[in-house]
């Protein structure tokens, strides 16, 4: 049991390995805003405890002013209240600075969200540009791409935001702890007892939510596809002609109901446990509340100190809860970031060709004993040999699935032969520079794409120079 607990803790801690990379990503996106977040976090973390301390001075100052007013022979109210009013002005300034820091955090997070989302999406799309056609047709890799596109663009900033929130709450907790330890060291233990159970619950359900998200990528992909088929002009003609609306909508609803049922069960369990364990935190606060009030009644502390300790305990408990919630959220963000980096780090087939002309210019195209098979399938082409000289024409005729399109994909180097080789002007296609090769080839596929661009750009696709 101990070894299992250790492994679970190791897995929990290990998943935070993406936090440093997310911070570096935000730093590279905008160093000025990163430093601004750090400054606002520091201000928002330190000043609440300072406001609580000033609040104690105000309450005790008011009591002293009341006593001085009653005892003075010729009381001058302005003179008596001057120190208290100065403290009130100081607290107002502190509260204003806290509000300014919170606004600064909100504004910078909003701007970074847009900048970072764009940057991560570009990283995902640039990676997609390096993948081969065979990798795109790999269902497992395509699911990685789908998961990365769905969540990862928002997770880096979310992780950084939680990291700064954690730092802010830690600073606040340390500040309030300095005040509470003067009351009793046991107050810190009461803080922990109220917050830790909720944290354990949230971490557990965050992991459950991620595993649920990862497992059902194929279903969410199918749901997205059905939306596209039912709402695009290039597919709606056949949908209407063949009466497919009802069938596809039924499947769409079935997928939603299945996924929603899983989400509902997880949400109810998560919120139910969160409420039950949250009551424990409320109970510990009111036990501490009664303790502080009792100390004030018996005269061990002043009314001002009672006010300060109650505020320090309440806000300290909120800070500790925020710390544990941030850790739980960072754990969840790291899980989703693992999708992003798992996709970005997926090995690609590097282009090694550099030739811009063959060793035998004018020799044309040669297939030498070329065979090709798709993964897990029988051979689509077997021992094909042919020579097509410049100026010659060749028509390929055959049934669907006989390998005509596959041969063209090999010619354009979208695939590589399983056996044999293909030569252009005497040089293997593998040795040609990809861009040079594709500039010499014109292809109209059977399932060609109509781009949502002006007519002229559709006609000129392939000539981007």
d(CA 165, CA 327): 10
Q: What is the CATH number of domain 10-344?
A: 1.20.1560.10
**Rg, the chain, Cα only:** 34
Pair of tokens at residue 266: 């997880």
d(CA 36, CA 39): 5
- Residue 246 contacts residue 213 (beta carbons within 8 Å): no
Q: Of 440, 374, 372, whose CA–CA distance to 412 is shortest?
A: 440
Mean pLDDT of the 286-297 span? 80
Q: Of 147, 148, 143, whose CA–CA distance to 121 is shortest?
A: 148
Phi, psi of 385, rounded to the nearest 5 degrees: -135, 130
What is residue 386's DSSP assignment? E
End-to-end distance of the chain based on CA atoms, in angstroms?
Answer: 65
**416, 422, 424, 427: CA torsion to nearest 10:** 90
pLDDT of residue 153: 63
pLDDT of residue 6 exceeding 50: no
Q: Which residue has the tokens 């769409």?
A: 252
List strand residue ranges (DSSP E) for 347-453, in order: 365-373, 379-388, 419-424, 427-428
d(CA 8, CA 4): 6
pLDDT in tens, 293-304: 888 888 788 777
Most confident residue range from 57-61, 87-91, 348-352, 458-462: 87-91
pLDDT of residue 388 exceeding 80: yes
Pair of tokens at residue 55: 């609040």
Helix, strand, coil percent values for the chain (each to nearest 5): 75, 5, 20
pLDDT of residue 10 exceeding 60: no
Residue 437, H or E segment: helix 434-439
Q: Which CATH architecture has domain 365-459?
A: 3-Layer(aba) Sandwich (3.40)
pLDDT of residue 337 exceeding 70: yes
Pair of tokens at residue 199: 């944290």
- Residue 266 contacts residue 208 (beta carbons within 8 Å): yes
Pair of tokens at residue 76: 């001058």
pLDDT in tens, 86-145: 888 888 898 889 889 888 888 888 888 778 878 888 888 888 877 777 777 777 777 777
Average pLDDT of the chain to the nearest whole number = 78
Residues 6+ apart with CB under 8 A from 1: none
pLDDT of residue 438 exceeding 50: yes
Q: Which residue has the tokens 């060291």?
A: 185
Percent of the chain with pLDDT over 90: 1
Which pTM value belongs to this model? 0.60
Q: Of 158, 169, 164, whose CA–CA distance to 335 is shortest?
A: 158
> Would you call 353 exposed, middle or buried from its count of C-beta atoms within 10 A (0-12, 13-18, 19+)?
middle
Return the domain boundaries, the chain.
10-344, 365-459
pLDDT of residue 397: 86
pLDDT of residue 79 exceeding 70: no
The CA-CA-CA angle for residues 435, 438, 440, to 5°, reads: 115
List strand residue ranges (DSSP E) for 297-430, in order: 365-373, 379-388, 419-424, 427-428
Count CA atoms closer than 13 A to 261's CA, side-chain side: 5
pLDDT in tens, 18-35: 777 777 888 888 888 888
Mean pLDDT of the 453-457 span? 72
Count Cβ neighbours within 10 Å for each residue of 195-228 and write b for 16 or more, e otherwise.
Answer: bbbbbebbbbbbbebbeebeebbeebbebeebee
What is residue 402's DSSP assignment? S
pLDDT of residue 435: 80
Most confident residue range from 11-20, 156-165, 353-362: 353-362
pLDDT in tens, 233-260: 767 778 877 788 888 888 888 888 888 8
Diameter over CA atoms, the chain: 120
> Would you call 391 exposed, middle or buried from its count of C-beta atoms within 10 A (0-12, 13-18, 19+)?
exposed
- Residue 177 contacts residue 316 (beta carbons within 8 Å): yes
pLDDT in tens, 196-225: 676 667 667 776 776 777 677 778 878 888
The CA-CA-CA angle for residues 448, 453, 458, to 5°, reads: 45
């Amino acid at each position: 049991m101990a070894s299992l607990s250790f492994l679970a803790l190791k897995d929990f801690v290990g998943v935070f390995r993406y936090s440093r990379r997310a911070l570096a990503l935000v730093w590279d996106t905008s160093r000025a805003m990163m430093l601004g977040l750090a400054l606002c976090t520091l201000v928002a973390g330190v000043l609440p405890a300072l406001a609580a301390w000033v609040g104690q001075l105000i309450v005790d100052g008011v009591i002293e002013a009341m006593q001085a007013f009653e005892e003075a022979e010729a009381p001058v109210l302005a003179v008596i209240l001057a120190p208290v009013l100065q403290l009130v002005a100081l607290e107002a300034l502190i509260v204003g600075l806290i509000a300014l820091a919170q606004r600064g955090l909100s504004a910078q997070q909003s701007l970074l969200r847009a900048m970072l989302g764009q940057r991560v999406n570009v990283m995902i799309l640039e990676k997609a540009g390096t993948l081969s056609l065979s990798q795109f047709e790999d269902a497992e890799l395509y699911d990685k791409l789908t998961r990365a596109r769905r969540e990862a663009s928002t997770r880096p900033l979310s992780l950084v935001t939680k990291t700064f929130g954690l730092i802010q709450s830690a600073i606040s907790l340390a500040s309030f702890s300095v005040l509470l330890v003067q009351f009793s060291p046991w107050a810190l233990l009461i803080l922990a007892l109220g917050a830790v159970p909720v944290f354990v619950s949230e971490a557990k359900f965050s992991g459950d939510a991620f595993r649920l998200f990862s497992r059902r990528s194929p279903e969410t992909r199918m749901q997205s596809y059905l939306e596209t088929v039912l709402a695009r002009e290039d597919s709606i003609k056949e949908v209407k002609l063949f009466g497919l609306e009802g069938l596809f909508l039924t499947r769409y609803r079935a997928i939603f109901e299945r996924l929603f049922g899983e989400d509902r069960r997880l949400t109810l369990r998560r919120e139910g446990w969160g409420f039950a364990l949250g009551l424990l935190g409320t109970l510990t606060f009111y036990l501490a509340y009664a303790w502080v009030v009792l100390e004030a009644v018996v005269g061990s502390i002043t009314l001002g100190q009672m006010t300060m300790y109650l505020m320090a305990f309440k806000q300290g408990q909120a800070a500790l809860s925020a710390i544990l919630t941030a850790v739980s959220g960072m754990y969840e963000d790291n899980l989703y970031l693992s999708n992003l980096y798992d996709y970005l780090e997926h090995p690609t087939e590097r282009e090694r060709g550099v030739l811009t002309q063959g060793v035998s210019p004018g020799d044309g195209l040669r297939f030498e004993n070329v065979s090709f098979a798709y993964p897990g399938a029988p051979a689509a082409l077997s021992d094909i040999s042919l020579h097509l000289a410049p100026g010659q024409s060749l028509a390929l005729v055959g049934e669907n699935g006989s390998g005509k399109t596959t041969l063209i994909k090999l010619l354009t180097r979208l695939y590589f032969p399983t056996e044999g080789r293909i030569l252009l002007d005497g040089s293997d296609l593998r040795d040609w520079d990809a861009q040079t090769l594709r500039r010499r080839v014109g292809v109209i596929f059977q399932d060609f794409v109509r781009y949502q661009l002006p007519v002229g750009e559709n006609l000129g696709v392939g000539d981007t120079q």
